[in-house]
Structures are given as structure tokens and as C-alpha cells.
Amino acid sequence: MIVLENVSKAYSNGSPALNNVSLNISKGEFVFIVGNSGSGKSTLIKLLLRELTPTNGKIYVNDRYLNKISRRKLPMLRRDIGVVFQDFRLLPDRNVYDNIAFAQKVVEAPVKQTRAKVLSMLSLVGLLDKYKSFPNELSGGEQQRVAIARALVNNPAILLCDEPTGNLDPENTWEIMKVLEEANRRGTTVLVVTHNHEIVHAMHKRVITMSNGNIVDDINRGGNLYEN
């Protein structure tokens, strides 16, 4: 599913971001990636999206060799990868339904299919009653759930989440994690970059710890969402 073989990344100023990193994430895994700022987490996400290319080493995502993938084939690669950011990135002039449907429009999905998929995603994230609302009428937790629905509506094989709960209170944070776990239960491989150690400790998942561009720990505890 995701394979890194001895991957290094140095920026133009010579500053190393990743140092000889090797990693294998299997289909259907739920993985946390943790580490201090500057540890290489964001660089790793950008490499997986092919926003960056490695200085050395090989990267494979969904059996595609990213080092040599052409610009023309990048959209096809990214159709298989949903992305959720800390700042939601919703379209402010479109309601909830249209924000999610926009992802279907990009892949030229039929209108009938779009309606069914959008409603299914709204049901998954618990926002069917908010489909006509605009982003500024939603709470932060609701906006993030819309962002997750948009990221999942095209049935991506992989969901990358970059600090998805960074702007949320504890209650909304747990609601988001339950949505992500449900997506994982349905077969999506989920990677979550986070600074929230409470979440990491409470969920029995694989945890990859990065420091100074290196993977310094990789523990797989397995299991499901912890519930009080």
C-alpha cells in the first residue's frame, strides 16, 4: 500500500528533512505519525502526495512508483488519496452538500451517483440535517466532519489527515476520531499526523514516532477506539 525504501529529502538550502527512512504500511491499517515540529512529518505527507520528490530512495503508493510518475498521471494518483487538513479548507460560498459534491464533480461522476454518495457520506459523519448549511453556520467540529466526508466521497484507498483535530475541543476531537475509525473499518487505510498524545494513548493503533527526520519508534498495539 505505502512503501518507503531508504528515503531522504534535503531542501534547497541543504537542510535535511528525512534521513534514510524506510517504512511499510499495509492496506487497511490505521497509523498515527507523531513527533515534534521539524521532525519530518509534514515532509512525509507531501512526499506521499507527490508534492515533493525524494532526494534519495524510492516511494511506492498503491503499487505506483512515485519517483517516476508523470505530471499527467498525478491526478489519477491523488484520486486514490483523500486528505484532511487542520484548517478544514471548505469552500465558503457553497453549502455542505455542494462542498462534498465538488469532489465528485472533479472526477466527473454522474449526478445521480453524486447525490447517493454525498448523502451516504453525510450519514457517515452525522450531518444529514446540515446539508443546506454553509461553513460559517457550522461549528469547528462540524466543519471538520464535512471535510472528512469530502475526502472520503470518492472512495479513496488512503486517507491522510494532517492534524485533523488541532483546532477542536476534546469532545469534537473524539467525534472526529470515531468517524476516522469508522472509515478505517470500512476498508480505508488511515494515516493521522497529530500532536495530541491523549488520542494516541487512548486508541490502540500503530504509532510511528519521528525525530529529526528519522523514525525512532514504530509500535503496533492494534485494537479499537477506547471508550470510557
Domain range holding 54?
1-80+157-228
Reading the chain (228 residues) residue by residue, the pLDDT tens digits are 999 999 999 987 777 899 999 999 999 999 999 999 889 998 999 999 999 999 999 999 998 999 999 988 888 888 899 999 889 999 999 999 999 999 999 889 998 899 999 999 999 999 999 999 999 999 999 999 999 999 999 999 999 999 999 889 999 999 999 999 999 999 999 999 999 999 999 999 999 999 999 999 999 876 554 443
Q: Are residues 183 and 216 in the same domain?
A: yes
pLDDT for 226:
42
- Do residue 174 and residue 216 come from a single domain? yes
Those residues whose C-beta lies under 8 Å from the C-beta of residue 217, and which sit 6 or more positions away, are: 207, 208, 209
Residue 15 has phi, psi (to 5 degrees) of: -70, 125
For residue 95, the model assigns a pLDDT of 98
168 and 76 both lie in a single domain: yes
User: In this structure, are residues 180 and 165 in contact, taking their beta carbons and an 8 Å threshold?
Assistant: no
Q: In what order do the strands lie in the sheet with 2-10?
A: 16-25, 2-10, 56-61, 64-65
Are the beta carbons of 161 and 191 closer than 8 angstroms?
yes
My answer on whether 21 and 62 are in the same domain is yes
The dihedrals phi and psi of 134, each to the nearest 5 degrees, come to -100, 155
CA dihedral 71, 88, 227, 169 (to 10 degrees): 150
- Are 11 and 48 found together in one domain? yes
Interstrand relation of 30-34 and 206-211 (parallel, antiparallel or unpaired): parallel
- My answer on whether 50 and 140 are in the same domain is no
CB 222, CB 204: distance < 8 Å: yes
28: alpha, beta or left? (left if phi > 0; alpha if psi -120 to 50): left
Sign of CA dihedral 54, 44, 104, 77: positive
Per the DSSP assignment, residues forming a β-bridge with 220 are 206
My answer on whether 178 and 68 are in the same domain is yes
Domain count, the chain: 2
Q: How far apart are CA 101 and CA 115, in angstroms?
A: 8
- Both 3 and 98 in one domain: the answer is no
Give which of 184, 147, 182 is closest to 166, Cα–Cα.
Answer: 147
In a domain, 38, yes or no: yes
Model confidence, pTM = 0.91
Q: Which among 17, 25, 70 is positioned nearest to 46, based on CA atoms?
A: 17
Cβ contact 19:139 at 8 Å:
no
Query: In terms of domains, do 195 and 132 share one?
Result: no
- Same-domain check for residues 162 and 71: yes
